[in-house]
Structure 1
Amino acid sequence: MPTRASAVVQSLFHFSRTLSSKPTTARISSRQPIRKFSIMDNVVNFYSGQPPLNRVSFQRSDASKLNGYLPRAKFMLFLKGNPLVEAGKIGTPLFLDYAQVEQYLAGGYQSVPESVTDARAKKAYESIRLPNTLPTLLFLGIDERLAPKGEDLHAPTGVPYFALDASAIGLDLASVNGEWGDARASGAMMPAWEAGLFAFARPLIDWNFRHKFCQACGAQTYSLWGGWKRNCITSVEPVEGKTCFSTTGLHNFAYPRTDPVIIMGILDSTGDKMLLGRQKAWPKGMYSCLAGFIEPGESFEEAVRREVLEEAGIEVGPVRYGSSQPWPYPANLMVGFYGRAQEGQQIRLDLDNELEDAQFFPREVVAAICNSASGSKFTKDDYKQLDNVTKGKVDESAPADDYAHFTRVPPETAIAGVLMRQWALGQHAMHLVSKI
C-alpha cells in the first residue's frame, strides 16, 4: 500500500509531466471575467500592478538622482495608512504634484557631507532625511508606460512617483479637493494599476512609521536610501562610549519586511467540494479559504497542511501552488494553493478555536454565489469588519450540509476570491486541481 509521502511524490510527478506548453500571461481582477487558463499561465492578481513601475533600485542611494526626479514627480499621500483620494471618490487616488508638496519636502534627500571621507562612513549618509522628524518621503520608481523603448536605464524619462507620510504636515484637504479614504475600501475600488501602486507604497510608509527606534539599542532611527532603509541614529550622531552593533554588518531589521501567508482552497477527496471557513467578526454570510502565516522552519506546503489541521482538523495530502498576491494590510504576500483532503474525515474546530464555522461546500453552491450580483458586494463598514480577528465558538457552528447561511464570498480583488472562482466556475480550471 502506498504511503502518504509516496502519494504526494506521485502527484508531483504527474504534475511535472504537464509542464510543456509555452507560458502565457493572464489577469484576474474585479473588472475582467474568469477565462480559460493553461497550466503554465501566470495569473496576475489584483494589487500586483501591471505593468509595474521601474523601481530603479540602484539609484536609491544617489540623492542627486532622486532630488532630480522631484520637480516632475507625482506624489501619493498617506495618513495613518489611508490614501489621499478625490473628494467623494474613494476609489480614485489623488496624486499631488511637486508644487503642492514642496513646502513639506525640506529639499528632499541629503547627500554625503564633504567632511565625511571614509568610504564606510559615507554609506550612512546615502539619500538620508535629517532631522528624523521630517515626514517620510519614499521613492517608488518611474512609470515608463509611455516612455520610449530602449532608453538609457540610468536616465529614465517616465513619470517619477513618490509616497509621502502626511501625518505631521497638516495638509489642507479643501485646497486640493481631497479626502482620506479608508485603506481597505479605497484599495479594493481603485483601478488595477493605481491599486498596484497603492499596495507597493502603503507597506513601506507603514514600515517607516513603525520602526522609528533601533531594535538593537533603542535609539532613534533615521531614513536613508530614499525611504528603503532605516539606520540607528548613532551611525551619524555617535554617542561617546557606546557602539550599536547595528552600525556594523548586515541586519534584517534595517530593511522593509514582507510576511508570507499561505491561503488555500482545500478540496474533499472527490474534488467536488471546497473547504471554506468564517470568523465570527466577518460580515454576515461570508465564507473564505483558510489561511495562515508561515512559521519558521517550514515550507509553504507544510504550512498548508499544518494550518488546515489546526483550524479545521482536516489532514491534507497533495498540495499544488496556484498564484500569489501582494496584500498591503499591513505588508503580506499571499501565496495561494490548492490541496486535497484525505478521505473519511470530520471537521473539528476545537483545536485552535479560530473559526466560527467551517464546511465543505459543493461546487454548484460556491458557483451560484460567485455569479450572484450581491455575492461579493461589500460596504465600507464590511471592509472594516474584515480587519477584526476574533476566536470562534465551536457551539455556534452551522449544521453540516446547511448552506442557507452561506451568502457571500471574497471579491476577485482578493486571492481567496480567485482561488474559489477558478475551481467553481466551470471546467476551465479543473486541470489546476484534477491531479491533486
Structure 2
Amino acid sequence: MSEAFTNFMAGSPLNRLSWLRPSHSFLNAVIVSPATRWILFNGGQPLVASHPGTQKRSLALLTTEDVMPLVGAGPFFGQCEQEGENSTPDVPALEAARVRGPTIVFLGLQEAETSESALPSSDFKDPHSAVEKLDGSSYFSVDVADLDENKVNAAVENTGLAKDGSTLTFLEPRAAMSSLDVRFAAIFAEARSMVDWNQRNKFCPACGSPVYSLWAGWKLGCTSLLPWADNTDRKPCPSGRGLNNFSHPRTDPVVIMLAIDESGEKILLGRNKKFPGRFYSALAGFVEPGESFEDAVKREMWEEAGVKVWDIRYHSGQPWPYPANLMIGYYATADSSAPIRTDLDNELEDARWYTREEVLAVLRHARGTINNDSEPPFKIPSPTAIAGVLIQHWAEGKGKIQLDAGASATTAKAFE
C-alpha cells in the first residue's frame, strides 16, 4: 500500500519526550501539574469509569491528587536511600529512579493542537519553567497489584470521579477495549504493555538480584549497582560493565497474514483450536530469531496450513498489548487448488478458502444490513483487530496493493 492504514490502538497522540525520561527534575515537576492524568491498572486490568446517567464507559483518568495515597510522597523520581531525599543529576544509577513504591511509567505529553511537536531538549533546561509553558496533558500509569487491596479500594472510592457519581471498576483489558475511543486506545496500548513489563520483570537477568525502576519506568537496573548497595563477598554484576546491560522494554513482533488465491476472489482463513465456535481468522505467528518478516510469513503459512505463498505485501501494523506484541499485517498469494494441511504444527482445527461473496455476507450480517435472523455460517474478527481489517479491506477492495510482476492481474484489479 502506498500509505499504511492506522489500526485501532495505533497512531498515538502522545509526544513521548523520550529524551527527558532520565530527568527526574522534569518529571517531578510535571507530575504535580493540575493537567496531569493517570491510568490505573490492577494486575493489567485498567480502571474504567461508568458515567452516571449514560451507558458509556471510558478509561478512568485520575489526577495526581487521586493517586497520591497509592504512589506515596515525593520525590517520585530520583529517589535515594533515605526516604524524601532527592538524587543529584550526575548519578547515572539514579536517573529518574524509583527504589520504593510501585513503579510509575511516564507515557508522554498530549500537546494542544496549536503546540509544536517534538520539543527540543534545550527547551527543558529549567524543568519548572518549562512545565509552566507546556500546553497539554501529561500521562502516567501505575499498576497497584502489589499494594494492599483495602488501600487500593479506599483510594479509588475517594477519587474525584467516584465523588462525582461515576462507578469505577478494574475491567478485563480486552473487554475494556470496547469502551475506548481511537485516541485513548493508543494511550492504553502503551500503558498496558509498560506496566505489564515492569510487573513481570523483578530480577536482574545477569545475576538474579532484585531490580529497580529507572528512566520513569522505561529501564530496569540491578540493585547491586545502587550507590549504597552492599556487595561484600560477591562478584560484580555483569550488567555494570561497559555501557551497562540494563533491561529495556521489549516488543514481540507477530506476523499476521491473509493468503489470497491467484484469481483474487478467495482468501484462506483458519480456525484455531482455542477459538469459539465458527470463528475464523487470519493466520499468525511470532517472528523467530534470524528471520525477516517475510520469512516468518512463509514459514507460518506452511507450518499452520501447509500452504506455500509468494508475492508478500505489507498492509499495516497494530500494537497489541497482551502483553507486548506488534502485529504486522501482510497479504500473500497462494494456490487455492493445492491441498491444505493442518497436521504439521497441529495449531489449527480447520483451515479453508472463502470466496469474496461469502465474506461480504458475513460482514453484512455483522453490521445488521441484511434482514436475516439466522446465525452467519462463520464469524470473523471485528475491525478493532488487524485481522478484521485485513479481511474487510480485501473483501471491499479497499487500498491498493503493489504486486510483483509474477502476481495475477486479477488480484491487482481487485484492489483498485
- When residues 151 and 45 of structure 1 are mapped into structure 2, their CA distance, relative to the original with a 3 A threshold, is closer
- When residues 97 and 351 of structure 1 are mapped into structure 2, their CA distance, relative to the original with a 3 A threshold, is same
The within-5 A match list for 1:414-429 is 414-425=385-396, 427-429=397-399
The within-5 A match list for 1:211-250 is 211-236=201-226, 237-242=229-234, 243-250=236-243
Contact 2:111 2:135 in 1 (8 A): yes
- When residues 41 and 98 of structure 1 are mapped into structure 2, their CA distance, relative to the original with a 3 A threshold, is same
TM-superposition CA deviations, 1:370-416 (whole Å, max 9, x none): 222369xxxxxxxxxxxxxxxxxxxxxxxxxxxx9742111111000
Match of 1:378 in 2: none
Find out whether 1:104 has 2:70 as its counterpart: yes
- When residues 227 and 183 of structure 1 are mapped into structure 2, their CA distance, relative to the original with a 3 A threshold, is same
Judge which range, 312-321 or 110-119, deviates more. Answer: 110-119
1:371 is matched by which residue type in structure 2?
Answer: R
TM-superposition CA deviations, 1:338-378 (whole Å, max 9, x none): 00014641001110100011001101111111222369xxx
- When residues 152 and 325 of structure 1 are mapped into structure 2, their CA distance, relative to the original with a 3 A threshold, is closer
2:58 is matched by which residue type in structure 1?
Answer: T
- When residues 150 and 225 of structure 1 are mapped into structure 2, their CA distance, relative to the original with a 3 A threshold, is closer
- SS in structure 2 at match of 1:138: strand
Measured after TM superposition, the shift of residue 117 of structure 1 is: 8.6
2:264 is matched by which residue type in structure 1?
Answer: G
Find out whether 1:124 has 2:93 as its counterpart: yes
Judge which range, 196-205 or 365-374, deviates more. Answer: 365-374
Give % identity: 41
How far apart, CA to CA, are the structure 1 residues paired with 2:174 and 2:61? 18
Find out whether 1:412 has 2:390 as its counterpart: no
How far apart, CA to CA, are the structure 2 residues paired with 1:302 and 1:91? 41
- When residues 287 and 258 of structure 1 are mapped into structure 2, their CA distance, relative to the original with a 3 A threshold, is same
Measured after TM superposition, the shift of residue 239 of structure 1 is: 1.2
TM-superposition CA deviations, 1:71-122 (whole Å, max 9, x none): 2210000011110001476841001101111222231112578998996xx2
Match of 2:38 among 75, 79, 85: 75
Contact 2:112 2:135 in 1 (8 A): no
Measured after TM superposition, the shift of residue 318 of structure 1 is: 1.5
Find out whether 1:95 has 2:56 as its counterpart: no
Match of 2:107 among 120, 136, 140: 140
Match of 2:188 in 1: 198
**What residue ranges of structure 1 are gaps of 5+ in the alignment?**
1-38, 376-403
- SS in structure 1 at match of 2:319: strand
**What residue ranges of structure 2 are gaps of 5+ in the alignment?**
125-129, 369-374, 404-410
- When residues 91 and 274 of structure 1 are mapped into structure 2, their CA distance, relative to the original with a 3 A threshold, is farther
- SS in structure 1 at match of 2:145: coil
Counting matched residue pairs gives 364
Q: CA RMSD in A?
A: 2.6
Measured after TM superposition, the shift of residue 165 of structure 1 is: 1.1
How far apart, CA to CA, are the structure 2 residues paired with 1:118 and 1:100? 29
How far apart, CA to CA, are the structure 2 residues paired with 1:152 and 1:290? 41
Give the TM-score of the pair, scaled to structure 2: 0.81
How far apart, CA to CA, are the structure 2 residues paired with 1:308 and 1:250? 40
- SS in structure 2 at match of 1:167: coil
- SS in structure 2 at match of 1:408: coil
Match of 2:14 in 1: 53
- SS in structure 1 at match of 2:152: coil
Contact 2:79 2:99 in 1 (8 A): no
1:424 is matched by which residue type in structure 2?
Answer: A
TM-superposition CA deviations, 1:271-304 (whole Å, max 9, x none): 2110100113212221100000001111111110
- SS in structure 2 at match of 1:42: coil
Find out whether 1:44 has 2:6 as its counterpart: yes
Match of 1:285 in 2: 278
Find out whether 1:184 has 2:174 as its counterpart: yes
- When residues 322 and 116 of structure 1 are mapped into structure 2, their CA distance, relative to the original with a 3 A threshold, is closer
Match of 1:84 in 2: 47
Match of 1:341 among 334, 339, 358: 334
TM-superposition CA deviations, 1:175-218 (whole Å, max 9, x none): 33310111011124311111110001101100000111111111
TM-superposition CA deviations, 1:44-75 (whole Å, max 9, x none): 1100144x201111111011100101122100
- When residues 429 and 42 of structure 1 are mapped into structure 2, their CA distance, relative to the original with a 3 A threshold, is closer
